[in-house]
Amino acid sequence: MLSYFSGATGGAGMQFDVFISYAWGGPENTAHREWVRLLAAHLKQIGFHVGIDSEVDYGEDLTGFMREIEDAKRVLMIVDEGYVERADNYPDSGVGRETKTIQDVVDDRPNNWLSVLFVRNEKRLLPKWMEGRDPKYFDFSYRDRDGSFPGSEQIDDLWRWLAGLPADKGRGISPATIRERMYRVERIDNLMEPGNWSCPELESKGVAMAYGDAPSETITLGYGDYEFKVRFGKRGGDSVYILNDYIKAVGMIPDAAPNEDLDANVVASYTRSCRCATPSVGQRVALLNNHGCACVLKVTGVTNESHDDEFVPSQVVFDYTIFAED
């Protein structure tokens, strides 16, 4: 949450992930002020709770304001040349009061509590009270010598500091951790492999699919013109939804219709304009794909999702026949 202090309300009761101290300046400093607010908005979008002082009435709420700085998890000083000027020569200015508060408490804070961000400050000037200190810093200044601008690398470094991660990404992650991460990704990639959720045959019995784990809860039957992308949905009991999201139409086949009477035309005649069919175990569904081919699917088993001793995804067992008319 991005907060702009105003009087006594401030961010009372809410600890900031980072408090940003910067030289607000006057109308002539609009570009710098907008840059700082844009940075604050970016950090807020990432998910950090950001405090940024823009128009504090120091006379009315100085104590509360100082407490906001003292309680912040991190403090980031945006140090341009104007910030140094105000910190050193104008103790009653906003920057002067902020840096005095920071100076009073910094020695009682962890080493990573305070950091400096240099912008429009190629010489990396610092307030006098910081002489002899070696704070963590981020250089966002444009460098004339090589024409380089700050970019995503500096933003990533700033994020790592705020998140409490090691600055050196190479030393911060062990080979074992990298392997474990790769295993996690590979496991999901394997689960999502299309072949795990496909039956290319025109006919099969006892097909068991944990459709709750399938991408988009969809199973592919057949191939080419005879392909049916059948999406299942949880309904409860011994019933499931079969939806027409990726095929042309679905419909229930009457229980009394003999199997031997079913052909492509008869099955297609049972499809409807509704979005789904709701078969229970033992019932049959008519499917029509976008090529006009027909399929009959009979549900023979349903397992509902369970979270008891271990997670069990939703599963359906079925027989199906795709009618080939070649």
Q: How many domains is the chain built from? A: 2
Per the domain annotation, does 182 fall within a domain? no
User: Which backbone phi and psi does 41 adopt, to 5 degrees?
Assistant: -65, -35
d(CA 206, CA 222): 15
Determine the 3-state secondary structure of 228 from DSSP: strand
For residues 146 and 288, membership in a common domain is answered with no
**Which residues constitute the domain of residue 253?**
194-322
For residues 153 and 21, membership in a common domain is answered with yes
Maximum distance among all Cα pairs of the chain, rounded to whole angstroms: 97
d(CA 117, CA 102): 15
Alpha-helical runs (H) found in 27-149: 30-46, 58-71, 81-89, 94-105
For residues 168 and 216, membership in a common domain is answered with no
Per the domain annotation, does 180 fall within a domain? no
Give the residue from 147, 145, 144, 165 showing the smallest Cα distance to 156: 165
CATH at 115: 3.40.50.10140
Residue with tokens 């304009």: 273
Residue with tokens 């949905």: 233
pLDDT by residue for the chain (326 residues), tens only, comes to 344 443 333 444 568 999 999 987 665 678 888 889 998 998 998 889 998 865 444 555 556 767 888 899 999 999 998 899 999 998 888 888 889 999 999 999 998 899 999 988 888 899 999 988 888 888 887 665 555 566 677 888 888 888 888 766 655 667 788 889 999 999 999 989 989 999 999 999 999 999 999 999 999 999 999 999 999 999 989 999 999 999 999 999 999 999 999 999 999 999 999 999 999 999 999 999 999 999 999 999 999 999 988 999 999 999 999 999 87
Number of other CB atoms surrounding residue 235 within 10 Å: 17
